[in-house]
């Protein structure tokens, strides 16, 4: 890698890398096609909700910059409710009204998914999952991890605060310990990479964060070693499996930082599914910056302008002007 990306480029790279990687994996599986093959890469659940997460983070930071306290967990929940509403979910009367945001009217982010993920039921309940009482204990996939990656994109945030935000974000839909701890791991790795740590060091930081928990899930710790998911226990859940393959593909990319290597790594992760691909894209995009994301993919991504706008807003709100 011949250049050091700016913090703004890393923020943009995380969001763009995550969104394009998942979209490529979905297209590879045929899950994102609605009829004709028009060449467009469309956002999936991970990409759409990751952008809603980033927008919620922008809200919190903008209020903080004005000296106004904002409940981070509640803001993330309201963002999730707005996303559920644009997906056509009829929310119960017990759900609080969520003031609209500009992102709600963006077709690429508001486009109904061909297949709704099962964990959408947690948001549809109208109840707010919390760390003490998370919703969806049966959901052990890595979708929560993928969408919470943006929570690591605020420079200078203490690791303990990143951990808290990741738990809050994941608990809104996923109550399985593997899913929650995979979310902590990815947010921590993104946060370390944002600060300039090489990918290996960023993943080590994430593994240390998980190992330091009161009740670490060994499958998640093992998923952060860079080994194949085949090395995990046969009983390992999907969150650990996707995390292992996503991390493995990112670490195997080396330090080149070019689009060709990015593409090969994402395609490799795609074999394990869209969540794994999104994890790889988020890690490489943060470490290498947005210019490492293949230009051909970015040009085909529906909503690339939304990604760029959100990245700029998040960087501005976080004080990342370099």
**Residue 71, marked binder:** no
Half-sphere exposure of 225 (CA within 13 A, CB side): 13
Name the residue ranges covered by the structural domains of the chain: 7-31+40-111+140-317
| Percent of the chain predicted with pLDDT > 90 | 89
Give the distance from CA 143 to its chain's centroid.
8
pLDDT tens digits for range 191-221: 999 999 999 999 999 999 999 999 999 999 9
pLDDT of res. 235: 81
pLDDT of res. 218: 95
pLDDT tens digits for range 230-260: 888 788 889 999 999 999 999 999 887 899 9
Q: Do 243 and 142 touch, CB atoms closer than 8 A?
A: yes
Selected from 3.40.190.10, 1.10.4080.10, 2.40.50.140, 3.40.1080.10, the CATH number assigned to the domain covering 7-31+40-111+140-317 reads 1.10.4080.10
Contacts of 34 (CB under 8 A, 6+ apart): 114
Tell me which residue of 33, 40, 51 sits closest to 278, measured CA to CA: 51
pLDDT tens digits for range 267-310: 999 999 999 999 999 999 999 999 999 999 999 999 999 999 99
Residue 115 burial (CB < 10 Å; 0-12/13-18/19+)? exposed
Q: Do 238 and 232 touch, CB atoms closer than 8 A?
A: no
Burial 238-267 (b: 16+ CB within 10 A, else e): bbbbbbbbbbbbbbebeeebebebbbebbb
Residue 31 reports pLDDT greater than 50 = no
pLDDT tens digits for range 7-23: 999 999 999 999 999 99
Residue 103 reports pLDDT greater than 90 = yes
Give the pLDDT band (50/70/90) at residue 32: very low
pLDDT of res. 225: 94
Question: Whole-prediction pTM value?
Answer: 0.96
CA distance 1 to 35: 40
CA distance 208 to 220: 11
Tell me which residue of 83, 158, 155, 106 sits closest to 314, measured CA to CA: 155
3-state secondary structure of 41: strand
Q: How many H helices and E strands in the chain?
A: 15, 0
pLDDT tens digits for range 159-175: 999 999 999 999 999 99
pLDDT of res. 236: 85
Residue 266 reports pLDDT greater than 60 = yes
pLDDT of res. 2: 56
Looking at every residue in the chain, the average pLDDT score rounds to: 95
């Amino acid at each position: 890698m011949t250049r050091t990306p700016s913090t703004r480029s890393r923020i943009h790279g995380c969001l763009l890398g995550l969104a394009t990687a998942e979209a490529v994996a979905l297209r590879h599986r045929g899950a994102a096609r609605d009829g004709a093959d028009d060449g467009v890469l469309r956002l999936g659940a991970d990409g759409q909700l990751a952008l809603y997460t980033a927008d919620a983070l922008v809200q919190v930071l903008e209020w903080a910059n004005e000296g106004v306290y904002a409940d981070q967990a509640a803001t993330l929940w309201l963002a999730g409710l707005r996303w559920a509403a644009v997906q056509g979910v009829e929310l119960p009367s017990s759900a609080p009204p969520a003031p609209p945001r500009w992102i709600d009217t963006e077709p690429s982010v508001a486009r109904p998914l061909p297949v709704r993920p099962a964990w959408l039921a947690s948001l549809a309940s109208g109840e707010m999952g919390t760390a003490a009482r998370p919703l969806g204990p049966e959901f052990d996939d890595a979708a929560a991890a993928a969408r919470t990656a943006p929570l690591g994109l605020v420079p200078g945030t203490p690791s303990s605060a990143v951990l808290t935000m990741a738990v809050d974000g994941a608990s809104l839909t996923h109550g399985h310990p593997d899913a929650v701890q995979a979310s902590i791991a990815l947010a921590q790795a993104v946060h370390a990479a944002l600060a300039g740590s090489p990918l290996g060091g960023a993943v080590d930081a994430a593994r240390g964060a998980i190992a330091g928990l009161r009740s670490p899930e060994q499958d998640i710790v093992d998923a952060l070693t860079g080994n194949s998911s085949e090395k995990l226990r046969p009983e390992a859940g999907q969150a650990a499996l996707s995390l292992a393959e996503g991390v493995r593909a990112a670490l195997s990319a080396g330090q080149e930082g070019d689009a060709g290597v990015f593409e090969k790594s994402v395609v490799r992760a795609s074999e394990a599914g869209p969540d794994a691909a999104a994890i790889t894209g988020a890690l490489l995009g943060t470490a290498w910056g947005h210019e490492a994301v293949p230009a051909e993919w970015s040009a085909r991504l529906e909503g690339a302008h939304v990604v760029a706008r959100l990245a700029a807003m998040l960087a501005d709100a976080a004080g990342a002007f370099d």
